A and B are shown apart, each in its own frame.
Chain A
Amino acid sequence: MTTRTVAEPRTASTSPRRRGATLSSRRQRWGWLFVTPFLIVFALFLVFPLVYAFGMSLFTTTLATGTAFTGAANYLKAFTDPLFLGGMGRVLLYAVIMIPAQLLVALAAALVLDTLATWLAKLTRLLIFAPYAIPVVIGALMWSFLYSPRFGPAATLFDFVGLATPDFLAPDTIFGSLVNVVTWQWAGYYMVVIYAALRSIDPAVYEAARIDGANGWQTAMHIKVPMISSSMVMVVMFALIGTLQFFTEPVVLRSVAQGAIDAAYTPNMYAFSLAFSYSQFNYASAIAFSLGILVFVGSYLFLFLTRKQSGLK
């Protein structure tokens, strides 16, 4: 969509027609020269690994028969493998719960911050964003300490309000515990994106709404939210891509919650353990490639369905 805005005025304003041919071929060469270094990296570390993974996934290595071409066998196995399907279902469930949770916190914070210009509001904006500057591993480590009954921070807080401390690391509570870790880590980032979009709305629009007698809530719901829908679509898309690749947080929490998180908790964890614990690289490639395709198709579908809101074509 951005391509045309520059391309068209350029052809119109380029210097004399006579020199046009040589000039444009020189320009063409410079254009390619500028983008080539990136394209080399793109080919080596994105296109090639994808092709390679697909190639690997078509073979199977066993001790008895060595490596043999087995076609789609690994994919048939993957899509009937309860561990892979279970992991896929789990990350989808995470997507359904976690993304709205993060979005809600981010949107509420951004809307409130947008109406305030106090030092407290500025400070809060910084504090909410702070977790983004903390590596995901360290964030998850911190929460694993906070959840841990051995260190007791959570117990301190629950005693303070007079409640019994739940076990955050049990099989039936780990889901919520992980949702909390991810929301804590990412809501601030999304808040900054949404906040910046809110700031770029022309204040004259609010003036008009105020004259029409709209109150703060109505302005927020009927003017602000619709006007930043393209940012929201982007935020949801990034959250979706991130959630389907869920890996770091469950891996880190696994060392304190062995019973609740197994090695195939998410598709990425499953692929990782297949490759590095069991050396089943062919099958791991099939899992990784399937996950890649599903994420790509899923995000593409999402962008297609929300094309009205995002303004993308």
Chain B
Amino acid sequence: MKRALALAVPLLVFALLPLGRLVFTGLGHLDAIVTPDAMRALRGTLLTSTGAAAFAFFLGLPLAVLLVRTDLPGRRALRAVFTLPSAVPPFIFGMGWVALANPKAGLLNLALGAGTFDIYGTVGIAFVLGACGLPLVVLAASAALERVDASLEEAARICGAGPLRTLAQVSVPLALPAALSGAALVFLFSASAFGVPYLLGVTASPPTSTLTTHVYALVLMGSGGIASAGAISVLLLALASAVLLASRLVKSAPLASGKGIRLRPLALGALRWPLGVFAFWLALALVALPLAAVFLTSLEPSFGRLEQLSLQHWQRLFQTPRVGWAALRSLGLSLAAAALVTAIGLAYALGRMRLGRAGRALELVASLPYAVPGTVLGMALLLSFSVDWRVVVGERIAFVLALANTLWLVLIAYVARHLAFGTRAATDGLTQADPSLTEAARVSGAGPWRALLDATLPQLKAPLTAAFTLTFLTCATELTLSVLLVPAGSDLLGTVLFELMSYADPAAASVLAGAFVLVVLAVQGGRSLIRTA
């Protein structure tokens, strides 16, 4: 397994060295942190991120239990719907919610009376980020719950506990560590999010400032901003480390007995339909409604104009050949990034046990690129790789690492950013897997690789698939890193989206978002068709 850990070396060089360098620069400018503006931003980040994490946790954990362990009507479709937000860039949801719930002319407010909802401000940001982060909790908790032996729940039922009590006292505690881990990711995701806090924060009165929007203003609008951005990032990193360490305090119990699992759904009895209807409405409000608003926007001739709906924006977008190439490139990059993140996560999880405390430190470090704003990570990579790295050996051979302006740098950025998805999923999965199966394989004469392949990996299928899917979907429409690092002449979906948003109109951007949602829906639909066939 030591060999597997060697995978972590390139990770350290490519992802963490640049970030470390930036942080080091920032340490010299810590006075940038103690300004009143920065403190206001810190407060904004704490409020919105805690709110989002709490929202996702308290909604996501019960939802996962209902969707995985019970006979809730339509649970498979509901599960697909609730994981959909991970496939859609958060700011698209933000756009949807602006169209729905801006205080003056939001569709909901037009229907219910002006001023019913105000999406601008701290609460709105926490709500939208929480809804976008919901899949992180639902997927993590579901992956854990899928490996729980149903006999535990049956035992509780036989002992006289009602369905709700069984869920609350048996299923929920089993999924708790994974859900907490997911919630910690939601916190990081929210603390490092930029699009939604900017979209919904800047218009609030008074404007809600977060660390990311503050860093953005520092980096993009003044000279010497890099150092201040580094300093503020130190703050974000400290925050992230605290949250990650806290989330690891909850120990997870081995879930699977490894001796064959019966996945028999728990009967909800009389509560089946009321809970089903509740979940349905929730899915409608949190996912379908904002996405429908985005689709509606893509049909409007200009934003907010409800007459003369047409497909003209769709037509225009698909007549642009650049979009097709951008989609292909993004597809390839995201697939590669997802595979790398999953592989590195697995390697790390396997090696972790042997490393002890150093292993835990490594996990923390791997989460850091996710905790800083994309702009900061992008700047860090530019700072380190704009110049070719040369190693001349024996005055004869020169090894030149020329990453600047290549898609490789974008790939590195994607992988570095989402490492946490892989390490956390694999670690959560491995701690809950039953080691006796692997031991049995080794005893029966399998080598370490054979045992890994036949005994350990199959148990990790669910969490690794979740990590792969999440990384793939997030990278496919990634915006900030793509815009900063894209090599000249090669568009990515993210850069096209950015261009449409800043040059064309929101309608054109929502077409691309809408198209992406359709593709995701088609893929998910196709997968479930294959499964049922």
Determine if chain A interacts with chain B. Answer: no
Residues of B at under 8 Å CB distance from A?
none
